[in-house]
Amino acid sequence: MDVSGVLSALVAGTAAGVLGRLFLPGHQHIGVLWTIVAGVAAALVGSLLAAVAGVGDGAGGDWLEFLAQVVLAALAVAGLDRWLRASL
């Protein structure tokens, strides 16, 4: 993966993390950095799942891939929030 691929993964992951966090009700007790980390991880896993399912390239598949990334980011943010609340 070259530099532009890493940068695009960071941008897509940040967007997925922020959108995933927006879809969760209430206040989350995690910071911006954890939101970005959750979003980047969700973007990687969502891309992998889309590639396995064969819906990542063209003909609207990119939207399905991004939707999977946002849903996974919301789950990751909720999981991190729950974990941080339990550890405090």
How is residue 57 annotated by DSSP? S
Largest CA distance in the chain: 46
| pLDDT for res 84 | 85
How many separate domains does the chain show? Answer: 1
Tell me the residue range of the domain where 53 lies: 3-87
Q: Tell me the pLDDT of the chain (88 aa) as tens digits.
A: 567 767 777 888 889 888 888 888 888 888 888 888 888 898 888 888 888 888 766 666 678 888 888 889 899 999 998 998 888 7
Residue 2: predicted pLDDT: 66
SS3 37: helix
CA distance 86 to 7: 33
